[in-house]
Amino acid sequence: MSGIADVEQLSCGPVSVVRLKNHDHSKPYAVEDVAQWLAMADRTNCRKLVVDCSNVEFMSSAMLSKLVILQRRMRENRGELVLCHLRAEVRELLEWTKLDSFFNIEPEF
């Protein structure tokens, strides 16, 4: 995933882990980066994709919609998407939008 400013790939394989990097939280994450995640979700050996959100202070509606698309893709491929290390603000947003029941949210991976 080189060349993607906001995403750091930590592992690749049946369980793949990506971390959203620090950035100016007044700007939404680059939604184009999620296209790379979709490609990873489509790999035949990716059964679980963990997204470490520990650096996320702000999540735009565009990013939420891309995560919904990613979740659906993982389910179509009989895989699992896991969001972890959510800050209170992001968790509250997911609760408010009722997306906390749509996503698999774990405290850590």
Residue 102 lies in a domain: yes
More confident residue, 7 or 14: 14
What residue numbers bound the domain in which 61 lies?
Answer: 7-106
Q: Which amino acid is at 15?
A: V
93: CATH: 3.30.750.24
Phi, psi of 98 (to 5 degrees): 70, 15
Q: Structurally, how many domains does the chain consist of?
A: 1
Residue 2 lies in a domain: no
Q: What pLDDT is attached to residue 23?
A: 52
State pLDDT tens for residues 32-89.
666 777 787 888 788 999 999 998 888 888 788 888 988 999 999 999 999 999 999 9
